[in-house]
Each structure stands twice: as C-alpha cells, then as structure tokens.
Structure 1
Amino acid sequence: MLYKADSRFNPKQIFLGHGQFLGARNETLDSQPRAFKLDVRKTMTVQFYKNNTKTLETSVALNGNMLKYSGCAPSDKFSIILHGWIQSCSDEWALALIDRLSFYRKGCVICIDYSTVASSSYMRLYSNFEQITKAIASIIIGLIQYGFDPSRGYMFGFSFGGQLASAVGRFLQPHFILQNIDTCDMAGPGFDPIAVDHSKAGKNVQCFHSSRDKGTLIHSCHRNIMFGSCGLSQPSVASQLHLGSHGLCVDIYINTFDYPFYALKSPPSECTSFTTAAKIPNDYYTVGYEEHFNKQVIGKIYVPTSLHYPYNLSRKELKLLAT
C-alpha cells in the first residue's frame, strides 16, 4: 500500500530552494557547448528489485500505480545504486551488489540507469552532471512522497556515481537526510581539486578510495577508507589489469559483505596525510557496508589488500604486516 505525503509538500519548491547547490563547483559545467546537454530524464530508467528479482523497470516519472507493481512497500528499507561512466545497471558489479544488498540488507533495491548519456564521452556525461543530479533527487523525493522513510535509506555510488551520490544527498537537504551513503573511488577528473564537504551528503557517509589517477583526492567523508597502498593503488592490479586500481574498488567493496577486510591500528608510515586518522577500536576491526554506523570511528582508515581474489588479508597476514 502506498501513502500520500502531506498535501502542503511541494517538491518543486525544494528544487527552487536548491538552485545554488552547485554554486561552488567548477564553472566549466555551465560553459559546456549546448550540444553536450540533453534532457536526461527522458533517457533514464528506474529498476526495482525485491528478493534479488527485478520486479519493475520504468521511467523517471514514477507514480503510485507503477510502484504498486514493484513489490516495494513504504515500510521497507530502500537502497539506491548509481553506476559510473560507460556503465549501466546491467554491469556485473551492479548485479552482484544488488544480490548482496538483497541478502544482507533486504528491503527494496533500486538501480537508477542513466547509461544512455554515460555511454558516450566523459565530457558529455560530466556536462550533464547537474541534470542527472536533479533527476535522481526527483526520484527519491517521489519515493518519500509515497511514504518511504529517508532514515531507512541507503545510497551507493561508484566513480562518477559516487560524485552523484554526494551531490544528490546534499541537494535533498535540509528537507530530507539519507541515513547511509557509501561511495567507491568517487571520480576525480572534472571534480578535483574543488573542496567539497562530502560528509554533508548524509547522516553517515563512508568513502572508499583505491586509485590515484581516476579517484578523487578530496577526502572529506565521515570515514575515508584507504584500500591497498594508501588508497592510491591495489596490489591485485597485477592480476586484474582489465579493472585497474579504480575498477577494483567496487569488487573489493562487494567482497566486504562476505569476507573480513581488517583495518590497520595505525596509519602506515608511507601514507602521509593532513587529515585525522580514525581510532581503530580493536585489533581486528573490519570495514565495509555498515548499517549501524559507529560514530566513534571517524577519519581515515587504512585497509591493506592482497594480490588475489577476494583481495583481503588473513589475521595472520595482518599481524605480520603490522609488526
């Protein structure tokens, strides 16, 4: 059953009130040729999954009748997945994450597909960043209108999708605050070096970092989890050249659901940082998806990774590394 929101609520007012949400961003977005701009809402689809089964695929213009067929109820937890450049909701990692979220988190899993614009040049995708952000925000506002609770919401974004997750979360505020946002190697090209406080995107924001070339160097989330060598490269790139350190991030993140990825108690000496390292509460503290966020663990967390799948270190290997 779907519930109507307060009739006084007008989502258009929210968009008008957030007209400056990208004001601090690089002005190159506004200076892109009009040929790069398009009505992305008409090209996007929203895919609903319940119990790891796709129940509905529809356009961005959601309504109550459509949602009834999704199998998702307003009382459900809901998860939103945002893909990156030259990707879609049909990518292997997206389907694997849908599977893991369906098993561990349960509830409604929603993948928002903007692959039509993401399938061409990065410049074209980047020039439509604001439009895509507003379209995704409108989807979430629509869900909230029908009774979904943002305090039961989780959003994940990989690469360009990580930047979108942060922008969407900030766009929704102060009216709505998503409970948990995780990003994986949030894109750097086009976005760095502009300082953005990604911790403002949601109540609990975790950002996982894995590469120096494609990932952002802005580490302003509540937690910044540095995979492999200081979050800049992964040993397993030697055996996974097709993924690179950037692409490995999402594979490692998905593996954290089933395998323990242990944090080092102290930052490695070679990982110089101007931000505070988190206080790791025990010798075998693990990272990954965390529904019940421990606010005592805030800052940078260093997590060594291994050469081969599933890319984690055993307790024995961690102990040897720390000595």
Structure 2
Amino acid sequence: MPLFSIFHSILIIFILQLLCNGTYSKLNLKYAILRQKQASKLQNDTFVNQQRIKYDAQKTMRVIFYKNNTKTLETSAYDDTYDLNGSGCSASEKFAIVLHGWIQSCTDEWATSLIERLSYYRGGCVICIDYSVVASSSYMRLYTNFNTLTGAITSIILALIKQGFDPKRGYLFGFSFGGQLASAVGRNLYPHHVIESIDTCDMAGPGFDPIAVDHSKAGKHVQCFHSSQDKGTFVYSCHRNIMLGSCGLKQPSVASQLHLGSHGLCVDIYINTFDYPFYALNSTPPECFTWHEAAKIPDGYTVGYEENFDGQVTGQIFVPTSLHYPYNLSKKQLMLLSKNNG
C-alpha cells in the first residue's frame, strides 16, 4: 500500500505538471499572439502617422512651374496630376527641378537667378519645389523631417513621370539641405527611374556627416560643388567633386561677402559659371590634403552646368576662386598660380 500510495502521488504530480505546462504553453501562445497583434498595430500606427506627416508636409509645399523664365503655374504638392496646359510645359521637353535650403524659398535671389539662367541656357520646363513652411523653423526640426520631405518630393517627381516626363531629360539642383534632398530623392527613384544629371552646391554636412553615402547612385551624372568647412559635407562620393576656392573649404571672396560666407558663395559661384569661365587646375594643390582620386583635367577645362557630361572627367577637381565678383580666375592668373604651386 505505501508503495502504491507513493506511485499514485507521483502520477498525480506528473499529471498536474502536464496540465500546468499545457496551460503555461497556452498562456505563452496567447501572449505571443497578443504581442504580435500589438507590434502589428504599432507598425500600422507608425505607418498611419508617417502618412499623416507626409500629407501635412505636402499640404504646405508648393510646386511652381516656369516657362521662358515666367511663372506659369503654382499648385499644391499634394496634387496627383498637374495642369501641364496651364503651366505651358510639355512632358516631351527637358525639365529642371530646383530645391532650396534651410530658411530659404523659391523666391530667394539665388533661386530666381538660377531659374533665369536655366531657362535661358537649358530651356524646357523649370520647376521649383517650395517647402519654405517646413524650412522656416529650426534646423533640427527641418532635419527630423528629412525623410518626410524626401518621400514627398519623390512623390511629386513620380507624378510628373506618370504624366510623361522622361528622367533622361531631367536635371535636379539642390543647395545646402536641398543638395542632400536632391541626392536622397535620386537614390529613392533609382533603379526604376534614373535622373540624367544632378548638381548640388555645398551639400549640408551637419546631421548628415560622417555617415558615408554613395551620392553617385543618385543619378547618371552627379557633380557636387564644395565651398565650406563649417556647413558643407565632407563626404565626397559624387562622380565629380568640385573643390572651390581653397581646397573646397574656404572662399577668398568671403572677405568682401561676409553676409554670404563660404557656404552661401557656392550657389553664387555656380550661377556665375553659366556666363564666366571657372578654370580647373591640372593637379591637386600641395596645400590640399586628399585621399580621394583626383580627376584627369584637360587643358582649359572649365566647371559648371554641363549639358553634355564628359564621363572621362571624374573625381576631385580643384577650382581656385578670386576675391571679387564674379569670383573666377583668368587663364593668365591660373597659369601663375599653377607655376607657384609647382
């Protein structure tokens, strides 16, 4: 009897353990399912929140069309289609898109000057995307909205492509924060849609550096102008990295243009390249330390907006600038500088 009683007790304990384990497993399964539902709900909430933020950003953004340097249409960025007849633009022609920086808008002097130069030299349709409402706040707030703005601008370009605009006839320009946006948008579109050419001016560094980004993936031809060491990026991964002034870190003309600084001078210099020759040095200046590949520069090579991109000239290009407007050096001055460097 005692033996039977012990065996009976062990059997009861074993059965109870099985029941408990079964209940525990069921509870685990129940909580696992609950956690999965909560995670899924969180993902959905995040997606809904992202869509709302994107909607709010697009709601305040404006898409402004220019034809022959005349503003023809201004509309909300949230539109899925644009009235091309009202804009005077044709989907079969070239198009250019301009993206501004922090505390800027499409009405800034440099933006209107660039639109005028693009209209004259490039022709076709020029579009400025104005997100000045978001850009008018603190830089940190603008930076935290970077992905939202990237998604919104990508949506605008996709809407244009849907209407027949061909990325092979497309051009993007971005200054400072807008330069980072131009690259990110191009990389968002890649590989399904490849923008033909992208130019950036002193792409913003704060908040973005030192994270390595391959900006060359943004478009077929990507050239980036560098002009400052305090606001510009140190990531030189474009097809061409044009180092203006002193090693791309400082402009001599900052002495007479304190309100612009070396950073702000970049876009002024870029606009001047349409009308004045900015000659590149044939070799890296001895004072400019670099571990990046230097481009092989043909004699008399000038930099700036380029309609027919020369794929043979890639890498770092050093372009000295002068103290006074229009900030370029003559061939004679360049020769003297090269002789002194030698």
Q: Distance in 2 between matches of 1:42 and 1:64?
A: 15
Partner of 1:180: 197
State the aligned residue count.
288
Residues 139-218 of structure 1: matches in 2 within 5 Å? Answer: 139-218=156-235
Q: Distance in 1 between matches of 2:223 and 2:186?
A: 13
Q: In the TM superposition, what is the alpha-carbon distance from 1:64 to its structure 2 partner?
A: 4.5
Partner of 2:313: 297
Q: Distance in 1 between matches of 2:326 and 2:82?
A: 42
Deviations 1:168-222 (A, max 9, x none): 0000011100000000000000000000000000000000000000000000000
Q: Does 1:318 align with 2:334?
A: yes
- The DSSP-based 3-state class of the residue aligned with 1:136 is helix
Q: Distance in 1 between matches of 2:82 and 2:74?
A: 13
Partner of 1:275: 292
- The DSSP-based 3-state class of the residue aligned with 1:112 is strand
Higher relative contact order (Cα pairs below 8 Å, separated by 6+ residues)? 1
Q: Is the CA contact 2:81–2:160 (under 8 Å) kept in the aligned structure 1?
A: no
Partner of 1:88: 105
Q: Distance in 1 between matches of 2:169 and 2:310?
A: 16
Partner of 1:119: 136
RMSD across aligned positions (CA): 1.3
Partner of 1:219: 236
- The DSSP-based 3-state class of the residue aligned with 2:83 is helix
Structure 2: runs of 5 or more not aligned? 1-45
Are residues 60 and 319 of structure 1, via their aligned partners in 2, closer, same or farther at CA, if it must alter by over 3 Å?
Answer: same
Q: Does 1:237 align with 2:254?
A: yes
Deviations 1:259-278 (A, max 9, x none): 00000001100111111000
Partner of 1:50: 67
Q: In the TM superposition, what is the alpha-carbon distance from 1:142 to its structure 2 partner?
A: 0.6
Q: Which amino acid aligns with 1:75?
A: S
Q: Which amino acid aligns with 1:77?
A: K
Q: Does 1:259 align with 2:304?
A: no
Deviations 1:67-110 (A, max 9, x none): 22000001110000000000000000000000000000000000
Deviations 1:210-252 (A, max 9, x none): 0000000000000000000000000000000000000000000
Residues 90-105 of structure 1: matches in 2 within 5 Å? Answer: 90-105=107-122
Q: Distance in 2 between matches of 1:165 and 1:64?
A: 21
TM-score normalised by structure 2 residue count: 0.83
Partner of 1:22: none
Q: Distance in 2 between matches of 1:66 and 1:147?
A: 13
Q: Distance in 1 between matches of 2:250 and 2:82?
A: 47
Partner of 1:76: 93
Q: In the TM superposition, what is the alpha-carbon distance from 1:62 to its structure 2 partner?
A: 3.3
TM-score normalised by structure 1 residue count: 0.88
Give the counterpart of 2:124 among 84, 91, 107.
107
Q: Distance in 1 between matches of 2:159 and 2:103?
A: 27
- The DSSP-based 3-state class of the residue aligned with 2:217 is helix
Highest CA radius of gyration, 1 or 2?
2
Q: Distance in 2 between matches of 1:296 and 1:65?
A: 38
